[in-house]
Amino acid sequence: MRLLKQPTRLLFFTGKGGVGKTSLACATAIALADQKKQVLLVSTDPASNLGQVFGVTIGEHEPTPIPGVTGLEALNINPEAAAQAYRDRIVGPVRDVLPAETVKGMEEQLSGACTTEIAAFDEFTGLLADDVATRKYDHVIFDTAPTGHTLRLLQLPTAWSNFLESNESGASCLGPLSGLEKQRQQYAHAVAQLADGNVTTIVLVSRPQKASLAEADRTSHELATLGIVNQQLFINGVMPDNGSDDPLALALRRREEAAVSALPSSLLSLPREQVPLQPRNMVGVVALRTLLSEKIETLADSRPSATPSALSVPPLSQLIDEIEKDQHGLVMVLGKGGVGKTTVAAAMAVALAHRGHAVHLTTTDPAAHLSMTVESTFPNLTVSRIDPQVERDRYRRHIMETKGQNLDEAGRTLLEEDLRSPCTEEIAVFQAFSRVMQESKQKFVVVDTAPTGHTLLLLDATGSYHRDVVRHLQPGAHVVTPMMRLQDPKLTKMLVVTLPETTPVLEAESLQADLRRAGIEPWAWVINSSLLAAAPSDPLLAARAAEERRHIERVQQSVARTAIIPWHAHEPVGSERLLELSGCEVESGVPHSDASDEIAGAKPSGSS
C-alpha cells in the first residue's frame, strides 16, 4: 500500500460521515507506529468516536498514549467547544450594547456547520504552528480535513472586522474570522502546507457507491482549484467476491462494481486503494490492524453463534398509515448525505398516491430528472424538481445587489465567498420550497431534503415575519405563520432518515438537536437499508447484520416513532419497486417500468 510505504509527514483523511475515514485514519496510525514511527492522531470530527475505537478516554488538551501501540498518541479537538469559545469571543463585547434581538441573530449566525469547521481549523493550525508540541512526531494524522470553502475563506483579503455587524440578513459563517486577523499568517502557513505534496497527503475516503464517489469527486475538484492536488482515493467497504450465492451479496457486488467502473476522470487519475468490507466494526487495536492487511480475514466463524431474534421495528408502511389519516399535509424527509432520503421520500409519495391521494413530490436532487422520475402516467402523483444551483444563484444575485452594493472591492469579495456557504444554498432552496408548501392544505406534499434547524432560525431571524406577526396579533386573533406550520406535527411531519451504523446515527442525533433548537420535534425516524432486517445468508453480511442491532436499539430508545427498511437486492427503480420498499401491498396492474421507463439511474436505498 503506497500510503504506508511512502507516507508524508501530514496525512488528512476526509469524506462524508459513515464512509469509514475514522477507521482508516486509526488503522493508518497504527500501521505507521508499528513501523517504529512516532505518530500523533488528531480528530476534529464533531461526532468523533476515537475513544470508543481505542477503548480509552482521549484527551482534548494533551495527547493520550494508546495502549498496545508503542509510539501512537491521540488527541481530540472538540470543534463544538472551540466554536462556542468563538461565539463568546465575538458576541460577548456587544451583548450589553446591541439590542437583544440583534445579539440573538448574531449567535444564530455563528451556529452553523461552517463556523464549527473554521473553529476546528483554527485549533489544528495552532497545533501545526506549535513546533514544540509536534516536533517529536514523525507523522501527524488528521481525521477530517477542512473543505475547500473553509480554505478559500481563510485565504481572502482583509475586511473581516465589520462584516458580521453589517450583514443583518442572509447566511453567514464568517463571524469567528472577525477576531482572527492576527492569526492570518498562521493560516497562510497551514494552507501552504496542505498544498505541499512533499509534506501533506489528502486521503479522500469513499464507499463504493455512486453518491459517495460523486461527493469525493466534488471534494477533489474543490481542493484542486486551490492547488491542493496531492490526493489519494481510498474506496472503503468493498464487498469481496467470496463465491457466495446469496442474492443480497450478489446484488451488492454488482452495484459496487458498476459504481467503481464509472469513476469520474478526476478520480481515475488519483492513486487508488480498495479496502474490503469487514465482518465486524473496527473497534480495538486488534481489529484495526487487520483493516489494511493484505490478508483477508477468514469468515468461517463470522456468522453469529445464534440466530438473531426478530426485530420489533415496524415497516415504513406503518408510518404511512399514520400520515394517511390526516388526508393531507406536508412531509419533509431529511438526513445527512448518503442515507437514502431521496429514495425514502419517493417511496412514501408513491405509496400515498397508490392509495388514491393527490401527492406532490418535490426534490432538490441535481439528477432528479434521471433519478426521481416516476412513470409519467402514475395516477395521483405530481413530481417536480427545484434546481439548487438556480435558486442559489438567484439568492446570491439578490444579496449582492442589496447588501453588497455599498461595499468596497474587498468587502464584496468577502461577501461573494460567504455566499458559497452550504447555508446559503439551503436557505435559497427552502425559499423555493415555501412556494409549494401552500399545496399541503389540500393534498400531500412530500419534500426531499428539508432545512436544518439552523437554517430555519436564520430565516426566522432575518425575515422577522413570524415574530412580527405574533407581536402585532390582536387579542383573541389566530394566525398560522410558516414557522408555526413547521412546528405543528399535525401540519408538518419531519422524518429523519439514517443508516444502522455509528456515524450516521450520531449525525442524525445532531440533526435532531438542531431542529429542536428551532422548536421542531422530528415526527419519526426511518432506519434505512438494514441488513439485519433483510436476513442475509452470506456469512460476511450476516456478521455485519448482527452489528446493526445495537444501533437500531439506540434509535428506538431515543425517539417516539421508528420504521425500518430492509436492504433490497433489487434497486428501487419504478413504482413497483418503490411500493415494495415502502412495505405496502403491490396489487396487480401497478405499472412496472423497464429500462426505458424507470427511474433511470436510480440510487440504491442506501444512497440519496
Residues carrying an active site annotation: 18, 20-23, 45, 503
Side-chain half-sphere exposure of 535, counting CA atoms within 13 A = 5
State how far the Cα of 115 lies from the Cα of 172, in Å rounded to an integer: 9
- For residue 600, what are the contacts with CB-CB under 8 A and spacing of at least 6? 370, 371, 373
Q: Which residues pair with 76 in a beta bridge?
A: 43
The answer to whether the CB of 195 falls within 8 A of the CB of 230 is yes
Other CB atoms within 10 A of residue 545 CB: 23
Other CB atoms within 10 A of residue 298 CB: 9
Element holding 274 (H helix, E strand) = strand 272-276
The answer to whether the CB of 66 falls within 8 A of the CB of 54 is yes
State how far the Cα of 56 lies from the Cα of 495, in Å rounded to an integer: 35
State how far the Cα of 225 lies from the Cα of 321, in Å rounded to an integer: 49
Helix axes 409-418 and 388-402, enclosed angle (nearest 10):
150
State how far the Cα of 425 lies from the Cα of 419, in Å rounded to an integer: 8
Distance (Å) of CA 37 to CA 51, 140, 251, 457: 22, 11, 42, 48
The answer to whether the CB of 435 falls within 8 A of the CB of 426 is no
Place of cell 436564520: 458
The answer to whether the CB of 396 falls within 8 A of the CB of 419 is yes
Pairing relationship of beta strands 272-276 and 72-76 according to DSSP bridges: unpaired
Nearest to 39 by CA among 50, 28, 55: 28
Nearest to 320 by CA among 500, 56, 584, 3: 584
State how far the Cα of 433 lies from the Cα of 39, in Å rounded to an integer: 48
Nearest to 202 by CA among 221, 236, 222, 230: 230
State how far the Cα of 576 lies from the Cα of 580, in Å rounded to an integer: 6
Other CB atoms within 10 A of residue 399 CB: 19
Distance (Å) of CA 606 to CA 167, 390, 410: 39, 27, 44
Distance (Å) of CA 176 to CA 83, 180, 410, 423, 526: 8, 7, 18, 16, 36
Q: What is the CA angle 214-219-223, rounded to 5?
A: 150
Element holding 377 (H helix, E strand) = none
Name the DSSP class of 431: H
The answer to whether the CB of 12 falls within 8 A of the CB of 45 is no
Other CB atoms within 10 A of residue 416 CB: 15
For the chain, give me the number of helices (H) and strands (E)?
A: 27, 15
Nearest to 92 by CA among 175, 183, 170: 175
